[in-house]
Structure 1
Amino acid sequence: MLRGLYTAAAGMVTQQRRHDTATQNIANLNTTGYKQVDSVSHAFPEVLISAMSGGTVKPVGRMNTGVFAEQSVSQYLQGDLIESGKPVDFALSTDLQVADPATGANINFDGSGKYITPDGEVIYRPQAFFTVQDNDGNQLYTRNGSFTVNAAGEVLSAGGFKVLDSNGNPLILTGPQDKLKVDGQGNLLNPATGRPSGTRLGISVVTRPQELVRDGNGVFHADDVDNADIRFANGTDNLQVRQGYLENSNVDATKVTVDMNAAYRAYEANQKVIQFYDSSLQKAVNEVGRI
């Protein structure tokens, strides 16, 4: 009986976390560059059930002992681009490709941006991010291109981090903001000639985006840069920088609303099960115990 009580309690905890994830997504429907988070649940390890009769043990089968919310997975799908008209606002439009190790042809990723090989290996679509630097010199990654410029000419992200160029150095503007021009590959143009000035926005290509860790405020970091396979973009990458635009949140309002309601109903169901077990235990203690 207690096993069922623990299973229902684990279900309540899992549904609460699922509900929290859905409400977080809804709260960030209009957050620039926000990437939707999906909660992934897994079963506890199964246990082998056996029956003893006449001194012999006969296997009955396996029984699941509950569920738990294992992790939250970010969905890096492209969000809609919204025109802001500000010269220091930028958005990334990407369609980075990966060759199939077996055939050499470009992989056709599914709607969530992943592909499963016949051998069961999961390959995720590479993603591009603006590269910023915190006060400790650590490189961080964001899709929020709502930048500002301080009195020293340093370009800062929405979180106050320094925006980096393609050499990993803080990006510094020497001219007025309204004269800033950037081409589709992120090259800053010379206002007089209209040609690339030799400075480029630091756009990082993350080959394994599933290795990124969400820090909050639309910023990610990599615990292991080599494992995430991060590099600065080059002219051959299929990406485009849009000046005067911002990328909206990629949250699917309909989906997360359904998820939130489903989590609420599942939480209620597990709560009823716990109430049933509590009533049964009460009878066992107060009534059966008298006999």
Structure 2
Amino acid sequence: MDRILYVASNGAARILEQQSALANNLANTTTTGFRAVLDVYRAVPVQPAAGEMPTRVTTVLASHQAHLGQGAVVETGNALDAAMAGDGWFTVRTPEGEAYTRAGRFTVNDNGELVTATGAVVLSVDGQPIELPERGTPTIAEDGQISALGAGDHPADLQLVGQLKLVNPPAEQLRRRADGLFSLPGSEVAPADERLRILPGFVENSNVEPAAAMVALIANARAFEQHMKFIQTADENDQRSNAILSAAG
């Protein structure tokens, strides 16, 4: 009896965790550059009471990983939009240090700095913010170089204002952060990779497949209901056993 309850309750808890991740993925199907969350679990032994043998194991959430496959790339025509042409990441500044993102829907903040849609400052190859001239006309090249023509300037006065820091650290070293950005362990900094290229005027959509996420949500809900039935059946069997023992006594 105890074993049924143990297995069913443990499975139900893991299903609820997975359901949360799936719901988060589904909610971000339209988020630029979003990477689907993949929960990774591991088995751990249950510490037995004194004098008992360690005969049981349980599962716990080991980490929140990510599906790093590329999402659909769509043209926007926006001069400040950019998508990675294959592998690679844009670099941004956060209070915890450098972080990386595939979301290339950029804009300019009140300080004239290039930022992401969430306000993170985009960094150049020298690790500094990229400042654009006020009311200037920017142009992003495939290698990440950003040029700008100031308001009223002659085309010959086009000036280079910075170059995006594009990086390509090993996928297995990247860690998803709570804010959706990625970073390296120990606040390590990835070096710029000059071989990477971008697609100016495009953005990369989320790599979540809405239909697959919805099917997984339904399957998880059914699995949770099944575990609840196991627990209910175990409780009913326990009550019947108690009734039989009471009658026999």
TM beyond 0.5: yes
Distance 1:151 1:190, change over 3 A: closer
Counterparts of 1:173 and 1:209, CA distance in 2? 35
Alignment correspondent of 2:168: 205
Moved more, 78-87 or 189-198: 189-198
**Number of residue pairs matched?**
237
| Distance in 1 (alpha carbons) for counterparts of 2:235 and 2:41 | 26
Q: 1:77 aligns with which of 62, 65, 69?
A: 69
Alignment of 1:223-238 (within 5 A): 223-226=185-188, 230-234=190-194, 237=195
Q: For residue 19 of structure 1, what is the aligned residue in structure 2?
A: 19
Q: Secondary structure at the residue paired with 2:30? A: coil
TM (norm. structure 2) is: 0.83
Tell me: CA distance 1:286–1:148, structure 2 relative to 1, closer, same or farther (3 Å). same
Residue 40 of structure 2 is matched in structure 1 by 40
Distance of 1:268 and 1:45 partners within structure 2: 26
Pairing 1:8–2:8 present: yes
Correspondence 1:167 to 2:126: yes
- Aligned-residue CA RMSD (Å): 2.7
Instruction: State the one-letter code of the partner of 2:102.
Output: R
Structure 1 residues 12 and 157, CA gap change in structure 2 (3 angstroms): same
Amino-acid identity (%): 28
Q: Which residue of 1 aligns with 2:79?
A: 87
Write the distance in 2 (CA, Å) between the matches of 1:194 and 1:241: 24
CA 1:252–1:262: 2 relative to 1, 3 Å: same
- Seen in structure 2, the aligned counterparts of structure 1 residues 10 and 21 have a Cα distance that, compared at 3 Å, is same
Deviations 1:35-85 (A, max 9, x none): 0112234444499xxxxxxxxxxxxxx976454443332011111111111
Higher percent of residues as strand: 1
SS at match of 1:224: helix
Equivalent pair of 2:167/2:190 in contact (CA under 8 Å): yes
Q: Which has the higher helix share?
A: 2
Secondary structure in structure 2 of the residue aligned to 1:139: strand
Match of 2:177 in 1: 214
Which residue is equivalent to 2:51?
none
The 3 A distance-change label for structure 1 pair 284 and 44 is: farther
Does the aligned pair in 1 maintain the 2:101–2:182 contact within 8 Å?
A: yes
Cα gap change, 1:190 to 1:157, in 2 (>3 Å): closer
**Alignment partner of 1:129 is 2:79:** no
1:10 Cα deviation after fit: 0.5
Deviations 1:71-122 (A, max 9, x none): 3320111111111111111111224xxxxxxxxxxxxxxxxxxxxxxxxxxx
CA distance in 2, matches of 1:32, 1:277: 46
